[in-house]
Amino acid sequence: MITQQLDNGILNIYATETESYSAVPPSPEQRKAYALQGGIAILLISTLMAI
């Protein structure tokens, strides 16, 4: 942690910053799995709302 003390004695404590990274797009297999999960979720919610 980074700690700074101001002239009036107040401490400012800052959390350490994590290293940033770029997101990786999903693979074709993951896209198919997401589409299947979305379809099942829509079917489930539609069925529950129809009851």
* Number of structural domains found in the chain: 1
How far apart are the two ends of the chain, measured CA to CA in Å? 54
Q: In the prediction, which pLDDT does 46 show?
A: 97
Both structure tokens of 16: 């350490």
Flag whether 20 is in a domain.
Answer: no
Query: Which residues span the domain enclosing 44?
Result: 26-51
pLDDT in tens, 4-51: 877 888 888 887 788 999 999 999 999 999 999 999 999 999 999 998
In a domain, 48, yes or no: yes
Does the residue 18 lie in any domain? no
- Separation CA 46–CA 31 (nearest Å): 22
Q: What is the pLDDT of residue 42?
A: 98
Q: Does 39 fall in a domain?
A: yes
pLDDT of residue 14: 80
In a domain, 16, yes or no: no
35 falls within a domain: yes
Please state, in angstroms and rounded to a whole number, the distance separating the CA atoms of residues 49 and 51: 5
Q: How confident is the model at residue 8, as a pLDDT?
A: 84
